Structure 1
Amino acid sequence: MEKKNKILRILMDSEEPIKGKVLAEKIGVSRQMIIQYISKLKTEGHKIASTRDGYILEREKGIRKMIAVKHSSNEIEDELFSIVNAGGTVLDVIVEHPLYGEIKGRIDVKTVNDVIKFMSLLKTTHATPLLELSEGIHIHTIEVKDEKTFEEVKKAIKKYLILDL
């Protein structure tokens, strides 16, 4: 089997992200070759996401909707906890930048532990949250199991909500 197809099979068999280093070891190639194979798979139409935890084959597990919100960096944790406690998964954050246009970052937060891990990374890396590039205005793609859950998510973050798209 072609190495590219082996990578795809490994990703298809996993529900969790897999680090590029792990894929490289399993396939017997360099980490750089994994990047090239993943790029090729993406150009072939496979929905492979590059996350901070590794590569994952995206599988929709419900309804995906976008919401526009505005808040400060100090309120990120509250927003994320509110969304996951209402049954939502925060897939990404999108901001509009005057020079680059749309900038999108993966978040992949679906549990309380994911929020804790994300906030820890935010604090320890001293990274600037994307919302700071847009005066706090940003968009999230939210995944929920059904419309009722989406309405619960909107209620939970009502104080941040600008509009749902």
Structure 2
Amino acid sequence: MNAGVRRERLMRLLEEADRAVSATALAHTLSVSRQIIVGDIALLRAAGERITATPRGYVLDRSATGELRTVACRHTTPEDMARELNIMVDNGCTVVNVIVEHQVYGQLVGQLDLSSRYDVSEFIRAVEAYGAKPLSDLTGGIHLHTLRCPDEGAYRRVTQALKEAGILFT
């Protein structure tokens, strides 16, 4: 199959997916290497496709509904990271990303796309399995999260719960 046809099939697979799809799974389905998929995704993005890489794989930005809000947080332990993320999803919000301000590189953004406790547990499992350090380690634990909240009430519940947990940075 030529590259153009493969990229069309790749887009169809992402459009039909109800969750993130890993590069490895896409490579297996299309009978190519993972690196070919990574390159195809880069070219599709350059052509204007709204494909986001998450810790669990690629997703199409379907312009989900809800209010985008930002919260500033501070924590230093992996347990607090899990607690923070669970507070956000338990109150109905999706954790879109994490943002830190690095003194050399400026703003660094990590895409998360976490909407449930399952998503959070899979993210934490991946962090542990790869020995990854949270971006907030670069900034003494201070970081931002972009949240997609269904309404103002959900955002207020998140900020109140984060404040009670000692995680909200004020």
TM-score, structure 1 length as denominator?
0.87
In 2, Cα distance between equivalents of 1:80 and 1:146: 18
Q: What SS does structure 2 have at the residue aligned with 1:121? A: helix
Measure the CA separation in 1 of the matches of 2:44 and 2:91. 34
Cα RMSD for the two superposed structures: 1.9
| TM, length-normalised to structure 2 | 0.85
Equivalent-residue separation in structure 1 for 2:124 and 2:26 (angstroms):
27
Structure 1 alignment gaps of length 5 or more = none
Match of 1:102 in 2: 107
What residue ranges of structure 2 are gaps of 5+ in the alignment?
Answer: none
1:88 aligns with 2:105: no
Cα deviation 1:12-50 (Å, max 9, x = unaligned): 111211121222233333322211211111112222111
Query: In structure 2, the residue corresponding to 1:26 is in which secondary structure?
Result: helix
User: Quick check: 2:55–2:123 contact (8 Å CA) kept in 1?
Assistant: no
4+ residue runs of structure 1 moved beyond 3 angstroms? none
Amino acid aligned to 1:4: R
After TM superposition, the structure 1 stretch with the greater mean CA deviation from structure 2, 8-17 or 153-162, is: 153-162
Amino acid at match of 1:69: C
Distance in 2 (alpha carbons) for counterparts of 1:38 and 1:124: 25
Match of 2:20 in 1: 17
Question: Which has the larger displacement, 58-67 or 30-39?
Answer: 58-67
Per-residue deviation, 1:11? 0.5
Which of 68, 79, 84 is the aligned partner of 1:79? Answer: 84
Q: Contact 1:91/1:107 (CA < 8 Å) preserved in 2?
A: yes
CA–CA distance in 1 between the matches of 2:21 and 2:124? 21
Contact 1:67 1:139 in 2 (8 A): yes
Asked if the contact 2:97–2:109 (Cα under 8 Å) also holds between the matched residues in 1, the reply is yes
Write out aligned runs for 1:41-60 (5 A): 41-60=44-63
Q: 1:79 Cα shift? A: 0.8
